[in-house]
Amino acid sequence: MLVNGKRILLGVTGSISAYKSALLVRLLVKAGADVQVVMTQSAQEFITPLTLATLSKRPVLSAFVNDASGSWNNHVELGLWADVLVIAPASAHTLARCAHGFSDDLLSAVYLSAKCPVFFAPAMDLDMYRHPTTVENLHRLESFGNHIIHAEHGELASGLIGEGRLAEPETIVELLTAFWLQEQGVENELLGKHTLGPLQNKQVLVTAGPTQEAIDPVRFISNHSTGKMGYAIARAFAQAGADVTLVSGPTALPLPHPTIRRINVRSAQEMFEASQLAFASSEIAVWSAAVADYTPVFVADQKIKKKEQQFSLELTKTTDIAATLGSQKRPGQLLMGFALETNDERENAVKKLRSKQLDWIVLNSLRDQGAGFGHDTNKITVIDKDEQIHEFALKPKDEVAQDLVNLIAQKLSA
């Protein structure tokens, strides 16, 4: 196993997930690694240094100077000694400290001194994980060349269910193994999992939600889209390690993943302009928004009063985002679109596939119960540019999103 003989610095910080660090140390030592644990003071409130020292067979370090002996724990030497630094769990506080260069405790000083690859495995409650500060700190750390082992979805210590759980120790060991395999240029099925798969660092653009076309300052034309499908797709890409930009129409949904850059828009024109900017650097684009086909020619600057028995509204076509940007498609760029149909479903879907220069079209039929707008489930048929058909059963939208992301990942792997 590639972990054998590796010198691993394990940073443990103040999170309830610190109890998992005991299993992580055990797994790494069992795999043949030499593990040195560095704990923050707050981490010791969740798990004792004695536990981790016993498992690692090394004294745990937590301060610059050992109280008993007066000897100095040299953070520079530690940073040079390690083959990898893994901070797991990484609390919001520690992420902020490392992102901004604070070094008044041993762990953050070791991080600043490290010459080796660094992995952060965040763990915190979902609202902390989604907070713009945490999102920005994760982006900042990643921009420095560090690796983020994204938190997992599940039940949290608070009782809430969502993203924020520390990745399982087995996952972290597997990911380290995959990392060293990748360094050796070895292709392995492990590379298709977690953050080191074919989507790692791919620039992905996802559009989601409805648009609102103003009639006057009070009223607008819109549709029934909630954005759930597009947000699930953006989350699945982010969990696969992609760099995701989400252009979102008005929804009540929270940021689907802390690493996602969300651009909020309202009208079809705003969505086109935001998408056009992001499209230039995107390697993959998924057009899942329900964009208005028409918009009012004139928008009243005052609320229109109810007077006449009948009221006519002149409309004009909006820019077809998928078709316009599809015409600018670069070699190697992959595009996926959606078609919500009520009749002649496959025939209409294939027309869109061709006219918009898509690689896949995702067909929804409103005749399928539990599919389409407003549901937490969806039933899709995917048609690729070779007109091969992939049928999927009715399932939760998160699982549908994973099916779609897997199709794209398989294309990249091939």
Is 293 annotated in some ligand binding site? yes
The answer to whether position 237 is within a domain reads: yes
Together in a domain, 187 and 261: no
CATH at 107: 3.40.50.1950
Together in a domain, 59 and 184: yes
The answer to whether position 197 is within a domain reads: no
Where does a domain end: 137, 171, 192? 192
Together in a domain, 22 and 88: yes
Together in a domain, 294 and 337: yes
The answer to whether position 128 is within a domain reads: yes
Task: Kindly name the residue from 223, 264, 348, 364 that is annotated as catalytic.
Answer: 223
Together in a domain, 334 and 217: yes
Count CB-CB contacts under 10 A for residue 313. Answer: 12
Together in a domain, 261 and 379: yes
CA 28 to CA 30: how far, in whole Å?
5
Intervals of the chain under pLDDT 50: 187-196
Where does a domain end: 160, 192, 224? 192
The answer to whether position 1 is within a domain reads: no
CA 301 to CA 303: how far, in whole Å?
7
Structure tokens at 226: 């909630």
CA 330 to CA 343: how far, in whole Å?
32
Most distant CA atoms of the chain, gap in Å: 91
CATH at 239: 3.40.50.10300
Together in a domain, 220 and 140: no
What pLDDT score does 124 carry? 93
- Domain housing 131: 7-192
The answer to whether position 244 is within a domain reads: yes
Where does a domain end: 162, 192, 222? 192
Q: What is the DSSP string of 58-121?
A: S--B-SSB-TTT--B--HHHHHHH-SEEEEEEE-HHHHHHHHTT--SSHHHHHHHH--S-EEEE
What pLDDT score does 359 carry? 97
The answer to whether position 143 is within a domain reads: yes
Together in a domain, 239 and 259: yes
Together in a domain, 156 and 295: no
**Total domains present in the chain:** 2
CA 363 to CA 162: how far, in whole Å?
29
Express each pLDDT in 195-218 by its tens digit: 446 887 799 999 999 999 999 999
The answer to whether position 108 is within a domain reads: yes
Together in a domain, 169 and 244: no
The answer to whether position 232 is within a domain reads: yes
What pLDDT score does 192 carry? 41
Together in a domain, 24 and 79: yes
CA 320 to CA 328: how far, in whole Å?
13
171 Cβ contact partners less than 8 Å away, ≥ 6 residues apart? 149, 152, 194
Residue 406 is among the residues annotated as catalytic for this protein: no
Together in a domain, 209 and 102: no
Is 30 annotated in some ligand binding site? no
CA 128 to CA 138: how far, in whole Å?
12
